Amino acid sequence: MRAPNVIVILADDLGYGDLGCDGGTIIQTPNLDRMAAEGVRLTDFYASANVCTPSRAGLLTGQYAIRHGLAHEVLQPADVKGLPPEAVTIPKVLGPAYASALIGKWHLGHVAPHWPPTRYGFDAFLGLPYSHDMTPLALYQADGAGPLIEEPVDFARLTERFFAETVAFAEANRDRPFFILLALTAPHVPLVPNPDDTSGSAAGLYGEVVEEIDRNVGRLLRRLGELGLDDDTLVAFTSDNGPWFEGSSGPFRDRKGGAAWEGGYRVPFIARQPGTLPAGTVSAALASNLDLLPTFAAMAGVELPSDVEFDGRDLSGVLLRGKPSPHEEIVLFNNAKVAAVRTERWKYVVRTYYRTYDLNLARYGYPLLFDLARDPGETYGVGSLHPEVALDMQARVARAAARYEPLATAFAPHVAPASAVDHPD
């Protein structure tokens, strides 16, 4: 039996509430809604960070970014650090049997030895070194053999170009398994709609770029069918974090960059593979983008390296058979600090922001316990009503902090001065 092809479509700053299948009503997403109806939708899926660089590091490696020195904020054009070249990544795990490509945004280091992405197991790369609101900016191509090719960026046609390159790579490798990470730049600002798409959107420019993504998802799925690859290809759709200036967090609190709240981490997730994944499945199983690496390895029949401690878990049982989550808890980080822990029912928040201050709520005797089953918007702390739960969650936070936070000392990240942390005026 052929190992599955895998295409991950990663939107940039797309909110949980932007898709119709997740409750959105303003932006029209018929193709993604149909993809959900034909596959599996996870309602409790988390990005592994609330901003771009650490979330992408988590997705690609199956490990929290703190293990790689990338937990602090977002890489800027002047930065020289990046994902360590020895990091185990999805294409490295899938191995040479898979043709692999990164198409779109990288944002895990743009100076050698962290550049180009072909150093991390990808056979081909076409895309941007970092976010398209940063400068200097160019589009690059690399195949691991020839020189790095640079060309100007046509912002209005980036989404179209990235989907076209995805189709071309699938066509070129139709006779062998392939893995494609299609890392879109939309709907991150600046918002530059394709001039050929003139239908407009009730959600303005943001809606236009999301609806262009949706149209291209439809075209991609149709083309996979025409190539006879539909049943052999697992297509997953998600976002790197919650929405930024525009977009909807759905019923959840806050948005991108929020220290601990659901709106910054809870993101859409849809997976579709006709004949393999059961159509029309909706699951509330706890899951994270850390889980993609071990899940794809399991579905490809590949053993994980025994000398690497992965934070993600294999979701194949959830996707294929509707099994419960392999997670007892999900840990949420704000930079290199544990900000919250989520279990199936409960959420315990220990960090948030007041203005620009990163507040350690425990310092003020005010950690917050939320019952997400009754209060998904995290509006009422109920620790006084459930003291035994609060104690259990407090212990979970302490264990997570003891396990992960010391790892940050192995690196030298930029941190806020002590006088600006935990001291509101």
Q: What is the pLDDT of residues 209-251, one digit of tens each?
A: 999 999 999 999 999 999 999 999 999 999 999 999 999 999 9
Q: In which residue ranges of the chain is CATH 3.30.1120.10 found?
A: 330-420
**Given this model, what pLDDT does residue 365 score?**
84
**Given this model, what pLDDT does residue 362 score?**
83
Are the C-beta atoms of 178 and 100 separated by less than 8 Å?
yes
Cα 92 to Cα 315: distance, rounded to the nearest angstrom = 19
Any idea which residue has 């771009």 for tokens? 52
Are the C-beta atoms of 40 and 283 separated by less than 8 Å?
yes
Mean pLDDT of 269-295: 98
Low-confidence winner among 133-137, 159-163, 197-201, 354-358 (lowest mean pLDDT): 354-358
Q: Is the pLDDT of residue 395 over 50?
A: yes
- Which residues fall within 8 angstroms of residue 164, CB to CB, at 6 or more apart? none
Extract the runs of DSSP E, i.e. beta strands, from 261-325.
269-272, 281-283, 287-288
**Given this model, what pLDDT does residue 425 score?**
31
Provide the sign of the torsion angle of the four alpha carbons 358, 364, 365, 366, taken in this order: negative
Cα 10 to Cα 239: distance, rounded to the nearest angstrom = 5
Mean pLDDT of 328-355: 95
pLDDT band for position 265 (cuts 50, 70, 90) = very high
Catalytic residue of the set 52, 68, 188, 327: 52
Q: Is the pLDDT of residue 424 over 70?
A: no
Catalytic residue flag (residue 107): yes
Q: Work out the percent of the chain whose per-residue pLDDT is above 90.
A: 90
Q: Which helix (H) or strand (E) holds 92?
A: helix 90-94
- CATH code assigned to 5-321: 3.40.720.10
**Given this model, what pLDDT does residue 144 score?**
80
pLDDT band for position 163 (cuts 50, 70, 90) = very high
Token pair of 234, please?
A: 């697992």
pLDDT in tens, 40-50: 999 999 999 99
Catalytic residue of the set 68, 72, 107, 188: 107
Q: In what order do the strands lie in the sheet with 139-142?
A: 149-151, 139-142, 124-128, 99-105, 178-183, 5-11, 233-239, 269-272, 40-42, 281-283
**Given this model, what pLDDT does residue 2 score?**
83
**Given this model, what pLDDT does residue 182 score?**
99
Mean pLDDT of 382-389: 97
Q: Which of 259, 248, 285, 210 is nearest to 16 (CA)?
A: 248
**Averaged confidence pLDDT in the chain:** 94
**Given this model, what pLDDT does residue 416 score?**
36
Token pair of 372, please?
A: 């997400």
Token pair of 310, please?
A: 């992965």
**330-420: CATH, from 3.40.1350.10, 3.30.1120.10, 1.10.357.10, 3.40.630.30:** 3.30.1120.10
pTM: 0.96
Q: In which residue ranges of the chain is CATH 3.40.720.10 found?
A: 5-321
The CA-based diameter of the chain, rounded to the nearest angstrom, is 64
Mean pLDDT of 259-286: 98
